[in-house]
């Protein structure tokens, strides 16, 4: 992928297998996609959104989820964005979509895209429709996968792990309390083909939200998916980047243009290319549902001081269709305590002190058979990278540290006990060279111990060979009469 002073010729477009109602583009046609925000609920400036509407978009799309916040939200059935701002963002999008007569497509509803997340977002949409007097057909596409389907696929050898993920077992399937699959283009296209003006999808391949409709209208798959890959994060790909601002994508027969909607931002070859690499293990070959996005011949061109044109993106269909499964299982309960220290002696010896404290706590708790795990996060020294920190200790000279005691137990009460005993032991631990006689720690909050609730971990992160049309059924709901 390279920037170029002039556009390079694009390869011939490749069709996506099994997509409904595809048409051929007319030379000179464009398809405009408005992406208001990086994740539904992040917010966006009204001025940027209005400027995007002035550009006459053909689609408003938004990605509402990710696995980035970890497994808790899928396991707990909760959203990681705030309801008030999800409703605020959706109100702008739904009213604009109906005013302009264009579809609104929402992917990974509620953050993790499972049944409770989908219903949570559906209720918000229905509230807005009642308050604004909106009428539309709502396409609802669940992404939950029954355990029986996963067990059968495992028995038939149709499941394989992603990189660095262990093989899936029947026990892991049974322990999982929530399992979703990441849908691609076809389920969204099926809903749009049925005339749905608003599509609410469960867990979804982020670029598909923006690419499904233009591909149905005959635009090439490669540029459409590549544009969707960038638009999924809205103005993050601009400079200066922001996840809480709007961006416009203009798809053509053999290229696409990225346009910022805030006067404070601009797209550059560097910013667009950098975001293309974002969250990818391979810089030029991006796998997804149904095939591979090949960017080896991709060229970025600065067409003016704020816009970039991208050519050469190709889509290579997969020989067999597969989807990514995401599943979680509960592993206990968590309590934490946050403290600071500025004692130079403690700071210098922290790597020796923390294991000594844990040994003392274990010894005190052994008779009562209190079980659990203790983790120490040392911010200011290696709290971000942990054991992967590349800087040697000799180069790190912090004058203060933030210590987070992270206690996980089989019950909330046992996690509370483990956190409390660890906190009090560390507070008064007599390490070598200690001068103070009061306490070693400063606590910013009272109470000092905080219940975090149930803990989950990813139990399934695998590819399953499956037919999307059978896995993701769509229902249509008449909203507003």
Same domain, 455 and 470: no
Of 79-88, 346-355, 390-399, 424-433, the poorest mean pLDDT is in 390-399
Q: For the chain, what is the HEC assignment?
A: CEECCCCCCCCCCCCCCCCCCCCCCCCCCCEEEEECCCCCCCCCCHHHHHHHHHCCCCEEEEECCCCCCCCHHHHHCCCCCCHHHHHHHHHHHHHHHHHHCCCEEEECCCCCCCHHHHHHHHHHHHHHHHHHCCCEEEEEECCECCHHHHHHHHHCCCEEECCCCCCCCHHHHHHCCEEEECECHHHHHHHHHCCCCEEEECCECCCHHHHHHHHHCCCCHHHHHHHHHHHCCHHHHCECCCCCCCEEEEECCCEEEEEECCCCCECCHHHHHHHHCCCCCCCCEEEECCEEEECCCCEEEECCCCCEEEECCEEEECCCCEEEEEEEEEEEEEEEEEEEECCHHHHHCHHHHHHHHHHHHHHHHCCCCCCCEEEEEEECCCCCCHHHCCCCHHHCCCCCEEEEEEEEECCHHHHHHHHHHHHHHHHCCCCCCCCCCCCCCECCCCCCEEEEEEEEEEEEEEEEECCHHHHCCCEEEEECC
Would you say residue 165 lies in a domain? no
Q: How far apart are CA 286 and CA 63, in angstroms?
A: 18
Structure tokens at 106: 């929402």
Query: For the domain that residue 370 is a member of, what is the CATH number?
Result: 3.30.70
Would you say residue 243 lies in a domain? yes
Scan for tokens 């069709």, then name that residue. Answer: 15
Nearest to 13 by CA among 2, 1, 23: 23
Instruction: Using the predicted structure, report yes or no on whether residue 20 has a pLDDT greater than 60.
Output: no
Would you say residue 60 lies in a domain? yes
Per-residue confidence (pLDDT) for residue 6, from 0 to 100:
35
Beta-bridge partners for 384: none
Between 377 and 366, whose confidence is greater?
A: 377
**Residue 8 region by backbone torsions, left for phi larger than 0, else alpha for psi between -120 and 50, else beta:** beta
Per-residue confidence (pLDDT) for residue 391, from 0 to 100:
86
Q: How far apart are CA 269 and CA 327, in angstroms?
A: 37
Same domain, 84 and 135: yes
What's the pLDDT tens digit per position in 162-179? 989 999 999 999 999 999
**Number of independent structural domains in the chain:** 2
Q: Answer whether 231's CB lies under 8 Å from 267's CB.
A: no
Same domain, 387 and 253: no
What's the pLDDT tens digit per position in 98-111? 999 999 999 999 99
Per-residue confidence (pLDDT) for residue 243, from 0 to 100:
93
Same domain, 23 and 71: yes
Would you say residue 172 lies in a domain? no
User: What residues make up the domain containing 470?
Assistant: 2-143+182-321+466-479
Angle (CA) 132 206 143, round 5°: 80
Same domain, 363 and 279: no
Same domain, 472 and 446: no
Instruction: Using the predicted structure, report yes or no on whether residue 2 has a pLDDT greater than 60.
Output: no
Instruction: Using the predicted structure, report yes or no on whether residue 368 has a pLDDT greater than 80.
Output: no
Would you say residue 275 lies in a domain? yes
Model confidence at 270, in pLDDT bands (50, 70, 90)? very high
Instruction: Using the predicted structure, report yes or no on whether residue 8 has a pLDDT greater than 60.
Output: no
Q: Answer whether 129's CB lies under 8 Å from 93's CB.
A: no
Same domain, 271 and 403: no
What's the pLDDT tens digit per position in 173-211? 999 999 999 999 999 999 999 999 999 999 999 999 999
Per-residue confidence (pLDDT) for residue 110, from 0 to 100:
97
Same domain, 105 and 220: yes
Would you say residue 148 lies in a domain? no
Same domain, 339 and 291: no
Same domain, 119 and 210: yes
Model confidence at 27, in pLDDT bands (50, 70, 90)? low
Would you say residue 400 lies in a domain? yes
Same domain, 374 and 396: yes
Same domain, 8 and 132: yes
Model confidence at 26, in pLDDT bands (50, 70, 90)? low
Structure tokens at 336: 């934490």
Q: Answer whether 412's CB lies under 8 Å from 387's CB.
A: no
Scan for tokens 């969204």, then name that residue. Answer: 188
Instruction: Using the predicted structure, report yes or no on whether residue 80 has a pLDDT greater than 60.
Output: yes
Would you say residue 152 lies in a domain? no
């Amino acid at each position: 992928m390279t920037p170029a002073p002039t556009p390079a010729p694009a390869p011939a477009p490749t069709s996506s297998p099994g997509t409904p109602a595809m048409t051929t583009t007319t030379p000179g046609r464009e398809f405009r996609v408005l992406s208001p925000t990086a994740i539904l609920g992040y917010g966006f400036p009204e001025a940027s959104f209005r400027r995007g509407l002035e550009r006459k978009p053909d689609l408003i799309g938004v990605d509402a989820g990710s696995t980035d916040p970890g497994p808790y939200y899928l396991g707990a059935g909760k959203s990681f964005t705030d309801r008030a701002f999800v409703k605020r963002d959706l109100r702008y999008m739904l009213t604009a979509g109906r005013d302009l007569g264009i579809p609104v497509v929402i992917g990974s509803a509620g953050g993790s895209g499972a049944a409770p997340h989908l219903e949570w977002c559906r209720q918000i949409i229905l509230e807005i429709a009642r308050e604004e007097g909106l009428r539309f057909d709502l396409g609802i596409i669940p992404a939950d996968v029954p355990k029986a389907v996963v067990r059968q696929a495992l028995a038939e050898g149709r499941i394989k792990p992603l990189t660095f993920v262990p093989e899936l077992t029947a026990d892991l399937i049974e322990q999982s309390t929530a399992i979703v699959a990441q849908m691609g283009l076809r389920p969204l296209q099926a809903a749009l083909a049925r005339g749905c003006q608003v599509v609410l999808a469960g867990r979804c391949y982020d670029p598909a939200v923006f690419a499904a409709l233009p591909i149905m209208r005959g635009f090439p798959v490669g540029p459409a998916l590549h544009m969707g890959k960038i638009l999924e994060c809205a103005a993050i790909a601009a400079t200066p980047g922001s996840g809480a601002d709007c961006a416009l994508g203009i798809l053509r027969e053999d290229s696409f243009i990225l346009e910022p909607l805030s006067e404070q931002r601009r797209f550059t070859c560097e910013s667009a290319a950098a975001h293309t690499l974002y969250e990818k293990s391979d810089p030029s070959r991006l796998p997804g549902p149904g095939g591979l996005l090949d960017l080896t011949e991709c060229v970025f061109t600065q067409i003016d001081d704020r816009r970039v044109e991208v050519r050469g993106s190709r889509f290579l269909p997969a020989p067999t269709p597969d989807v990514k499964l995401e599943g979680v299982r509960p592993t206990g309960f968590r309590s934490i305590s946050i403290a600071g220290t500025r004692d130079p002696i403690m700071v210098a010896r922290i790597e020796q002190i923390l294991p000594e404290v844990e040994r003392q706590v274990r010894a005190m708790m052994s008779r009562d058979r209190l079980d659990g795990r203790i983790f120490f996060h040392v911010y200011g020294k290696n709290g971000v990278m942990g054991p992967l920190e590349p800087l040697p200790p000799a180069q790190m000279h912090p004058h203060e540290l933030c210590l987070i005691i992270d206690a996980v137990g089989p019950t909330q009460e046992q996690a509370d006990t483990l956190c409390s005993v660890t906190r009090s032991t560390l507070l008064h631990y007599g390490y070598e060279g200690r001068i103070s006689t009061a306490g070693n720690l400063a606590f910013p909050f009272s109470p000092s111990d905080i219940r975090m609730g149930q803990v989950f971990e990813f139990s399934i992160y695998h590819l399953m060979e499956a037919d999307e049309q059978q896995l993701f059924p769509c229902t249509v709901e008449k909203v507003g009469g």
